[in-house]
Chains A and B, each alone.
Chain A
Amino acid sequence: MSEPKAASLLAQSIPSTYADVPAKRGALYKQVLKRLKNNKRSLLGLWMVSLFIFIAILAPWISPYDPLEQNMDKLLQAPSLSHPFGTDEYGRDILSRIFYGSRISLMVGIVGVVISVVFGVAFGTIAGYFGGKIESVIMRVTDIFMAFPGFLLALAIVSVLGPGMVNLMIAIGIFSVPSFIWITRSAVLSVKNKEYIEASRSMGAKHRRIIFKHIIPNSIAPIIVLSALRVATAILSASGLSFLGMGAQPPSPEWGAMLSAGREFLRTAPHLSIVPGIAIMLVVLGFNLLGDGLRDALDPKMKV
């Protein structure tokens, strides 16, 4: 009984404009966790993502075969007990290749998005916080990047850099930078003029301190949501580029590349194409569910 009373007294003594500031962050965090737990979709997403992360980490131990080991006696076998997803045109075990392939897809997706977040958040924060000329230059350049359909831009980048994993990650990274710039800038703009930031500025805080202590923590929610959704897009695009032969190269068990190689045998051994596609879909679905759930938990009205 005494506790709420004390809290309400406290609330009265603090001007209301300060009431929604950092002090409440702990409570907000708890509330978000609770809402996440109550959201079946996001839990399912979290489970799916965790499952794939586990598979990626444990691939060497849980794979029944070496993903690159060829077996000329067992070409293009249909799914069976010894090869649950069958074998490919070199007699390699598809299940093992799918397990190892999750390492590639998750790495490309996550590293790619980390690249986008680093650049996107940096430029977005600068644009939003400082405004003026810097902002218009950054936003103009962003507009230009956005004038290219994203997938084509990534394709153009890998085509000049040459195929390969590193170039694939760079291309995928650049592909998402504009959307992170946009989202960060608008998040920063919406908190920039809040009273607590003006207060901190009036007390002589340096730009760096204001940005890292106040602006970024208070605009992080949409960035987190966008990151989860963008990992999904990145994995999808990376597999598309690999499908076109622009990403991971043949012996590597990349799902898109596997699917592309399997096309030749579509009539006789459709599982070669179907299975990697399902793997891509499930991991992408997991990240999409997680992103949706995070948005619902953090702020259902968020525009991401």
Chain B
Amino acid sequence: MFNYVLKRLLQMIPTLIGVSLLSFIILQLVPGDPAELIAGLDASPEEVQIIRERLGTDRPLYEQYIDYNWQLLQGDFGTSLRSDNPVLQEILERFPSTVNLTILATLVTVVIGLFSGIIAATKPGSVRDHTAMAFSLFGISMPVFWLGIILILVFAYYIPILPSGGSSELKHFVLPALVLGISSAAVLSRLTRSSILEVINQDYIRTAKAKGVRQWLIIYKHALKNAFVPIITVIGMEIGNLLGGAVLTETVFSMNGLGRYIIQSIQFRDYSAVQGSILFVALLFVIVNLLVDLCYAAVDPRIRYDRKEA
């Protein structure tokens, strides 16, 4: 197991380099000269040149990229063009809110998605299967921002029991977490169902039945543990989508989180903040994927051994 973890950590390095390269390129694609942008329209060429030197944009690209990585390693994600604060500091100020939202939404996803999927899979073709699958089909087809607006309409305006926006208290998180969670739950529910149905036709399930194991134990113990690998994959992917979807949800619910920070930075053309936040989210996602892989290994002994021996 230790070797496996080590190997996965080493495998992360090329991905991390690629991620930093991609986020570096994103900034290069911005049309126009960032120095001119910062200096403003009435700046003199000398002033622009000074800013350019300060930014380092007068040097060759590869030098800039190496510098960029060096700064990243030191925890320097750049300086916000808008506020002149370090981007990382601004990110970290808003991050807890997004983390809370993501955790709550993941909880909603797992609870609703896993159970509706299992319930559907235990009786394929039944009414409850069709109902669960119809709901999840609507769930994956529904725009999150629309669901958010509908929930605001219902639970903040018509039956005013929850706030329509903000991010200071737990009650502010209820609707956003539901919105994000429900859309991911729909994906998870479909996948849980199909994974279990696939597993349930395997020979070892017949063996378990032949031993006299109860139906619910067959599903929850024998089938579910095998179906877990694809299920964990989707949970990991959905956490990435939750981080992305937070952009929309935080906008709808006026939450002061990372997603809304990205949108505000885009609106203010604060590209270093955009670059820094997107890189931050990507790093987070890489870590989530690593955790997902470690979960695989914990669930499925074949992965642990095969990788080690390969």
Contact = CB atoms under 8 A, between A and B. Distances in A.
A–B interface present (Cβ within 8 A): yes
A148 B278 contact: yes
A132 interface: no
B248 A243 contact: yes
B15 A244 contact: no
B298 interface: no
Interface in B12-32: 14-15, 18-19, 21-22, 26-27, 29-31
B22 A281 contact: no
Contacts of A159: 266, 274
Contacts of B150: 274, 277
Given A143-B15, A156-B278, A266-B157, A148 B146 contact: no
B80 to A, nearest CB: 15
Contact of B26 (A160, A243, A260, A285): A160
A161 interface: yes
Contacts of B252: 263
Nearest to B16: A147
**A contacts with B: majority SS:** helix
Which of the four size classes fits the interface of chain B? 35 or more
Nearest to A280: B143
B25 to A, nearest CB: 9
A149 interface: yes
Nearest to B278: A156
A140 B30 contact: no
14 contacts: A140-B14, A147-B19, A148-B278, A149-B243, A150-B240, A155-B262, A159-B274, A236-B141, A243-B248, A245-B267, A256-B145, A274-B149, A277-B149, A277-B150
Interface string A222-246: 0000000000100010011001111
Given A151-B244, A160-B29, A281 B274 contact: no
B290 to A, nearest CB: 11
A288 B141 contact: yes
Contacts of B144: 240
Interface string B258-287: 000011001100010010001001100110
Contact of B157 (A156, A157, A267, A301): A267
A152 B146 contact: no
Name the 8 nearest CB pairs between A and B, nearest first: A277-B146, A144-B18, A149-B244, A151-B244, A285-B141, A149-B240, A284-B141, A159-B266
